[in-house]
Every structure is written in structure tokens, then in C-alpha cells.
Chains A and B, each alone.
Chain A
Amino acid sequence: AQSVTQPDIHITVSEGASLELRCNYSYGATPYLFWYVQSPGQGLQLLLKYFSGDTLVQGIKGFEAEFKRSQSSFNLRKPSVHWSDAAEYFCAVVRRGGGYNKLIFGAGTRLAVHP
């Protein structure tokens, strides 16, 4: 069965530091992968997605993610974190089949940013 693992429940970084959030997936075929961000009181916002092609994907707000099939990973990175990046981040994979495309979410990683 498809699944997504985010090993880090909580991460704290200093403003200006680099960031990497880990995501591992389990899926038999080529996965469709997503990263979403959820800020307090707001809905989930799509940061970036991977369907095929270039394994390094650029997203909004300066984020990027790299798909590594050999490691079953899709880690999210940002070279310099801003205080406004503090939020909950979810990695997700599409579960295809049965005529519907359902998102399977990881448990999420809560990012705190120190000034």
C-alpha cells in the first residue's frame, strides 16, 4: 500500500539557515509527489509537485525538492529560511486507482524559526 513517512516531527532552524525536510514514500510505480504547507488558520497551500521529468523541482517561496527514486525520497529544501516559513509541512503521494486520485499524507513536520 502507498504510504508517506516524514521522519522529523518537529524541526527548529535559525532565520537565514538552510532547511531540509525529509520525505520517504512507498509506491510501486512512478509516484506523483507533492509538498504542501499549512499555516495557522489557513488552508494547505501547494509548494511544488513532481510527476515526471527533471528530478529537481522548483516551487513557490524559494522551495525546491529533489526526487530520488533509488532512495524513495522527495526531500524539501530551502537555502535560506525566513521567519514567515514557520508552519506545518506535509509531503503527499497520489494514490491512483479505482477512478479516483487520492492524496496520502505524511504525518507532517512542524517548522519553527528562531530569529
Chain B
Amino acid sequence: DAGVTQSPTHLIKTRGQQVTLRCSPKSGHDTVSWYQQALGQGPQFIFQYYEEEERQRGNFPDRFSGHQFPNYSSELNVNALLLGDSALYLCASSLRSYGYTFGSGTRLTVV
């Protein structure tokens, strides 16, 4: 049973560019959350999608947007990249219960 799959695993972008990260949730899971983990820090909540709608949002600017598709997969888009956006981006899925399953993340480097 595949867990949470994220792509790409690594990405290097230039300041000002836009990036799209992708997530396929664990089979049977319908809720997807995105987290940003800076080096040496704990994950910070970006937003959560359920039934193709953004249900909750953390303290992130509008440059961060997302989408959930009918098959429950999700995308995270970041516009106008800043150096400070360099981090590990984690996707977590769940089936409305505790014990989110995390993917291995996408490591984004902004230069």
C-alpha cells in the first residue's frame, strides 16, 4: 500500500519564479494538509483541503495557494518566490482521524 507520494523530491528555483508541488494521498485518505519545515524547525501548517475546498489556513501569505482534485490529490503553488521560502514542504493525508501520514517532502531551494 503506497503511502503519501510527493513530487518532485528536490527543486531549485530563482527568486520571483513560481513553483507547483504535487501530492498523492495515502489510499483511502480524503484530507490533505500542507506544511512548511524550515531547516532546524518544526513543520508549520500552511493549509488543509477536504472535499476540494480549503478548510483551514495557517499564517501564510496569499502567494501560497492550493488545490485538491476529485481523486483527492493536491497541489501547492507558491508565486513570487522569496529566499525565505526555501524549506522542506510536507504533505500529510488523513481520513478524518488522528494520525496524519506524511510524505517524504519536496525540498525547495530558492536562489
User: Are A and B bound to each other?
Assistant: no
Interface residues of A (CB under 8 A from B): none
